[in-house]
Amino acid sequence: MDIKKILFEELLDKVEKPGRYTGKEFNEIVKEENKSAVKIALAFPDLYEIGMSYLGFKILYEIINRRDDAVAERIFSPAVDMERLLRERQLPVFSLETYRPLNSFDIVGFTIQHELCFSNILNLLDLGGIPLKSEERKEEDPLVIAGGPGAFNPEPLYCFIDLFVIGEGEEIIEGIIEVYKKWKEEKGNRADLLEKLARLDGIYIPSHYKVSYFEDGKIKSIIPKKEEFIPIIKKRMISNFDQASYPLFPIVPNINVVHDRITLEVFRGCTRGCRFCQAGMIYRPVREKSVENLIKLADEILAHTGYEEISLSSLSSSDYSEIEKLITLLVDRFKEKGVGISLPSLRIDSFSVGLAQQVQRVRKTGLTFAPEVGTQRLRDVINKNVQEEDLYLSIRAAFKGGWRKIKLYFMVGLPTETDEDVEEIIRLMNKVDRMGREIIGRKININISVSAFVPKSHTPFQWDAQEEREALSKKIRYLKNKLNWRNISFSYPDINRSYLEAVFARGDRRLGEVLERAYYLGCKFDAWREQFNFEAWQKAFAESGLSMEFYANRVRKDDEILPWDHISCGVKKEYLLKEKEKALNGETTPDCRFDSCTSCGACERKDLIIWND
Supply the CATH number for residue 218's domain.
Answer: 3.40.50.280
609: pLDDT strictly greater than 60: no
Task: Mark residue 413 as left, alpha or beta (left: phi above 0; alpha: psi -120 to 50; beta: remaining).
Answer: left
The reply to whether 172 falls in a domain is yes
Any domain includes 395: no
Q: What is the CA radius of gyration of the chain?
A: 24
CB atoms within 10 A of CB 604: 11
Residue type at 318 in one-letter notation: S
User: Which of the listed residues 234, 265, 297 is the one where a domain comes to its end?
Assistant: 234
Q: What is the share, in percent, of the chain residues with pLDDT greater than 70? A: 96
What mean pLDDT, rounded, does the chain reach?
93
pLDDT of residue 208: 98
- CA distances 280 to 272, 371, 390, 450, 570, Å, are 7, 16, 22, 20, 12
State residue 364's pLDDT score.
66
Domain boundary at 180, 210, 234, which? 234
Task: Quote the pLDDT of residue 608.
Answer: 41
Domain annotation covers residue 426: no
Report the helix count and the strand count for the chain, using DSSP H and E. 20, 19
CA atoms within 13 A on the CB side of 553: 12
Whole-model pTM: value is: 0.95
**Contact criterion met (CB below 8 Å) for 75 and 44:** yes
25 alpha-carbon distance from chain centroid: 25
Q: Is the pLDDT of residue 293 over 70?
A: yes
Task: Give the range of the structural domain holding residue 518, as residue numbers without chain letter.
Answer: 511-545
Dihedral pair phi/psi, residue 24, rounded to 5°: 60, 35
* Secondary element (H or E) of residue 298: helix 291-305
Does position 402 have pLDDT exceeding 90, yes or no? no
Residue 44 lies in a domain: yes
Distances (CA, A) of 307 to 47, 252, 340: 22, 9, 10
Q: How many domains does the chain have?
A: 2
Please report the beta strands in 358-479, taking only residues with DSSP state E, as ranges in sequence order: 367-372, 405-412, 445-452
Give the 3-state secondary structure percentages of the chain, helix then strand then coil, rounded to 5.
Answer: 40, 15, 45
Domain boundary among the residues 234, 250, 275 is at 234
Cα–Cα distance measured from residue 373 to residue 422, given in angstroms and rounded to the nearest whole number: 8
Alpha-carbon separation of residue 592 from 284, 385, 596 (angstroms): 11, 12, 5
Q: Give the integer Cα–Cα distance in Å for 356 and 21.
A: 37
- CB-count burial class (<10 Å; 0-12, 13-18, 19+) for 251: buried
Q: What is the pLDDT of residues 93-112, one digit of tens each?
A: 999 999 999 999 999 999 99
Q: Which amino acid is at 41?
A: A
Confirm whether 448 is domain-assigned. Answer: no
Beta strands in 273-328 (DSSP E): 287-288, 309-313
227 part of a folded domain: yes
Instruction: Note the pLDDT of residue 355.
Output: 78
Would residue 290 count as lying in a domain?
no
- Encode pLDDT of 10-45 as tens digits: 999 999 999 999 999 999 999 998 888 999 999 999
Q: Which percentage of the chain shows pLDDT scores above 90?
A: 82
User: From CA 331, how far away is CA 311, in angstroms rounded?
Assistant: 12
